[in-house]
């Protein structure tokens, strides 16, 4: 296996880490989004929304564990530098995820009069976890530096990521529900989509101003002409998505999954844009993938483990989504 050089292994693990982060953002993103916009004034709607994510939400977080694990073992220097700058928001992220997990179980075990309290806890945990992720992204884009300007940008990024998760969460509900709740989700998805578009435009403007590498990637021909297809596709999806939402619901619920599919494309385009802006750096303007990578011998051992583990994760995730396909019905606990 002469092709498994240190450079190629670093690139492979960089790609695997990026894939795990992207899948986490999409899969756990929609169930966080459901929590963010949980309809607190209508208990049956809340039960149906919870039922729509019940079989998936816990397994979706596997991708976060995988991403952090890959970063730790494949790029230990980058893991140290990134978490050193992000310990506080990372702790708040974990607190939010813990609140969600506790609330999800306790809402089924407490007296009916206390159920709403745990639904609020689930909602607060979702907002806290989502805002923390956006804050971390903002600090990362700003070079892992804490200045007044970077903190303001990170807070703005937190609101944008919250809006993006609310968008994909409601798009998920459009496909998994029907009736009044589906109409409510369509309305919320439109609002969140407008806020998400504004956030992407703002980040796309600011990133090249603070990141020299990003400015070169997006302005230097000939590759800049090719890369321009990514933001064009992204913005086209916003327009198409809004037009689709205006026409839904259709007879026999045709096209109900289109908003979620469109949101997936938007997330992929946004992630690709960020990845291209920073490549080959894994720590902005400090460490490249190749400088931060573990030794070739260590990466080889991890590689053979990943060849086994990652297909298993993909397999049981696909099986779960296939087994629980279709509309969410009434919430049941056993």
Confidence (pLDDT) at 253: 87
Confidence (pLDDT) at 97: 93
CA distances 51 to 120, 176, 281, Å, are 16, 10, 41
How far, in Å, CA of 51 to CA of 328, rounded?
6
DSSP state, 111? -
- Peptide bond before 26: cis, by omega within 30 degrees of 0? no
Average pLDDT of the residues in 136-152? 91
pLDDT above 60 for 334: no
Give me the DSSP letters along 36-90. Answer: HT--TT-HHHHHHHHHHHTTTHHHHTHHHHHHHHHHHHH-HHHHHHHHHHHHHHH
Confidence (pLDDT) at 49: 92
Beta partners for residue 287, in sequence order: 283
CA distances 207 to 113, 213, 223, 278, Å, are 48, 10, 18, 10
Q: How far from the centroid of its chain's Cα atoms is residue 92's Cα?
A: 16
Q: What is the CA radius of gyration of the chain?
A: 20
Confidence (pLDDT) at 330: 62
pLDDT above 70 for 331: no
Instruction: Give the predicted TM-score (pTM) of the model.
Output: 0.94
Q: Torsions phi, psi of 287, nearest 5?
A: -125, 130
pLDDT above 70 for 138: yes
pLDDT digits (tens, 9 = 90+) for 65-119: 999 999 999 999 999 999 999 999 999 999 999 999 899 888 878 887 788 899 9
pLDDT above 80 for 329: no
How far, in Å, CA of 13 to CA of 324, rounded?
31
How far, in Å, CA of 321 to CA of 199, rounded?
30
pLDDT above 80 for 333: no
pLDDT digits (tens, 9 = 90+) for 193-208: 999 999 899 888 888 8
Residues in contact with 306: Cβ distance below 8 Å, sequence separation at least 6, in sequence order? 13, 16, 70
Confidence (pLDDT) at 332: 57
CA distances 247 to 58, 179, 190, 240, 254, Å, are 33, 15, 12, 11, 11
Report the share of the chain in percent with pLDDT over 90: 66
pLDDT digits (tens, 9 = 90+) for 267-294: 999 999 999 999 889 998 889 999 999 9
Both structure tokens of 328: 């969410």
DSSP state, 304? H
């Amino acid at each position: 296996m002469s092709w498994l050089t240190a450079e190629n292994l670093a690139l492979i693990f960089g790609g695997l880490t990026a894939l795990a982060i992207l899948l986490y953002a999409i899969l756990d993103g929609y169930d966080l989004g459901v929590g963010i916009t949980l309809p607190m004034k209508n208990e049956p709607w809340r039960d149906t929304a919870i039922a729509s994510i019940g079989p998936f939400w816990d397994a979706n977080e596997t991708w976060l564990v995988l991403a952090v694990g890959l970063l730790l073992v494949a790029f230990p220097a980058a893991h140290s530098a990134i978490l050193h700058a992000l310990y506080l928001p990372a702790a708040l992220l974990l607190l939010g995820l813990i609140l969600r997990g506790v609330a999800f179980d306790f809402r089924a075990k407490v007296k009916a009069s206390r159920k709403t309290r745990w639904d609020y806890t689930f909602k607060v945990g979702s907002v806290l976890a989502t805002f923390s992720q956006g804050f971390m992204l903002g600090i990362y884009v700003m070079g892992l530096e804490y200045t007044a300007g970077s903190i303001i940008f990170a807070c703005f990024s937190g609101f944008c990521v919250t809006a993006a998760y609310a968008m994909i969460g409601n798009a998920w509900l459009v496909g998994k529900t029907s009736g009044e709740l589906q109409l409510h989700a369509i309305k919320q998805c439109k609002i969140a989509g407008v806020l998400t578009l504004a956030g992407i435009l703002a980040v796309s403007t600011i990133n090249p101003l603070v990141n020299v590498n990003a400015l070169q990637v997006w302005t230097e021909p000939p590759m800049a002409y090719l890369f321009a297809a990514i933001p064009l596709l992204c913005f086209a999806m916003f327009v198409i998505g809004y037009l689709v939402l205006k026409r839904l619901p259709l007879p026999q619920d045709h096209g109900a999954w289109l908003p979620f599919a469109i949101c997936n494309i938007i997330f992929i385009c946004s992630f690709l844009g960020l990845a291209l802006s920073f490549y080959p750096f894994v720590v902005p303007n400090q460490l490249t993938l190749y400088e931060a990578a573990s030794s070739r011998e260590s990466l080889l051992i991890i590689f053979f483990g990943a060849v086994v583990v990652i297909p298993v994760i993909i397999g049981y995730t696909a099986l779960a989504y296939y087994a629980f396909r279709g509309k969410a019905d009434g919430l049941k606990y056993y």
